[in-house]
Structure 1
């Protein structure tokens, strides 16, 4: 246990709220800095706003999660995605430098693997010059480079966490499992785009959040970690599990041409071995158990509120 003071940008969000819980369990003093937060409100696209809050709070660690994290929104408004994800990250880094923060932990994504060659991908796999083919991916790659630059030029330590595809309680509308649950509990068919063979290594949100507490260890200074789920799960398997656990649910298949540039795992395996070796982290929640926990949350928090 420790008494580190930790700021989480975007702590009001889906992932951020779970990260705050995990850090509190670790014994940290955790503060939420968010544009939606009344006490420690800050707009990361405004440097002076972030600088003032960080200067007042003087955190030891900054967990930077605030971002446009919905890839479809990034595609619809690329200028906003660049402003929030790239300029916002720069502002958080600069405010952290001015406040003498011990380390900034950046929330990145497994989507950056789209900018990497096929094969086994680890944290040393280089980015290809043609990039990742999506605005969201590019903003995250740029953020990773900015974090590294701030360490080299200003001596600001970092840790980069590349998230797998998270799911679980508090997940927002638009994420695939949340979409399935919304449809299942309103007696609508689950819609799969394509033939359902597309796969993801879904990562339960509590497992993802625990990695943030573990990366407070000194071994994580100036390191990058891939955080992937246990195994590949096809969209068909995900839909079948929801249908089984909810009951009396139909599944339909459709085509949608607007889904361009999204994450593809074709002939790629992202390794999380480094996180296990350095931090002792590994996913612990299997997909069926994770979906069941998410369904229980949905019944208690979503259905009961309607």
Structure 2
């Protein structure tokens, strides 16, 4: 099938693009910048999702459209509410309208577990708004969709906006990890490659017009995660917890708001959290200590 991925140059989108290409699909990436991970058989469109004409031209003749574009960092969204509304809600609506006009087979949207929560600020509210608009497009125009709600992602190609990447880099450079709060927060970590495979598996008919939860098989408290990282680094780093008044993130569970219930999709095979973290440590170490 012909697949276009808005936001396909980023952390998750680029991995999904790879899985789709390896499965034999014709993949086009649409993003503000050229993907550094672009494969020879993938096409690239550099553009803004607020550019209506360019988005409509990109979607022409597509079978499947993914939207990973927009502001995906909770802290950034809380500092830039208007930008979050523009790119997360208006941008998504522009893509939806283009999909309606082209009668695409499936629209796939990257949402978040924060839609279940009172935490998440503008990030949460923009994701909730998008989910409602997608459902409206299905009810009124018959546009088929799948909404994906992701847990805490980690893995290669992440940057400083990703929590695990940020703390591993701090540990390797400063010999310490600083964390706001007491570390009792519980998270469902999922390796980005597992998430990418799940993001393609949902193209099966059974997931049409469904909300799908993609999380890992290993739930862990942040405090325990930090201790595990410390042991991996031969107990040579310090862990510091500092007070916070931050209410943007949830503690134990995101489930306080009740949008449409999602199906939980977990793979029988998955990358072990410890192995995944170790691989990230090696990758980040090579980035900060390049060979001459």
> How far is 1:266 from its partner?
4.0
Once residues 253 and 174 of structure 1 are traced to their aligned partners in structure 2, the CA distance between those partners, rounded to angstroms, is 19
The aligned residue for residue 295 of structure 1 is 281
Once residues 99 and 291 of structure 2 are traced to their aligned partners in structure 1, the CA distance between those partners, rounded to angstroms, is 39
Detail structure 1 runs of 4+ shifted over 6 Å in the superposition.
none
2:101 corresponds to 1:98? yes
Is 2:31–2:47's contact at 8 Å kept on the other side of the alignment? yes
Secondary structure of the residue aligned to 1:33 is strand
Q: 1:82 aligns with which of 79, 82, 85?
A: 85
TM-score when normalising by structure 2: 0.89
The aligned residue for residue 245 of structure 1 is 232
Distance change in 2, residues 1:305/1:201 (3 Å): farther
**What is the aligned residue count?**
280
Distance change in 2, residues 1:283/1:199 (3 Å): farther
TM-score when normalising by structure 1: 0.85
The aligned residue for residue 255 of structure 1 is 243
> How far is 1:82 from its partner?
0.4
Q: 1:34 aligns with which of 9, 31, 36?
A: 31
Structure 1 portions without partners, runs of 5+: 116-131
Secondary structure of the residue aligned to 2:9 is coil
The aligned residue for residue 9 of structure 1 is 6
Is 1:230–1:283's contact at 8 Å kept on the other side of the alignment? no
Cα offsets for 1:187-206 (capped at 9, x unmatched): 33101212211121111111
CA RMSD after TM alignment: 2.3
Distance change in 2, residues 1:69/1:305 (3 Å): farther
Cα offsets for 1:2-44 (capped at 9, x unmatched): xx11111101101111111111222211111111138412211
Is 1:6–1:29's contact at 8 Å kept on the other side of the alignment? yes
Structure 2 portions without partners, runs of 5+: 36-43
Distance change in 2, residues 1:137/1:305 (3 Å): farther
Distance change in 2, residues 1:63/1:230 (3 Å): same
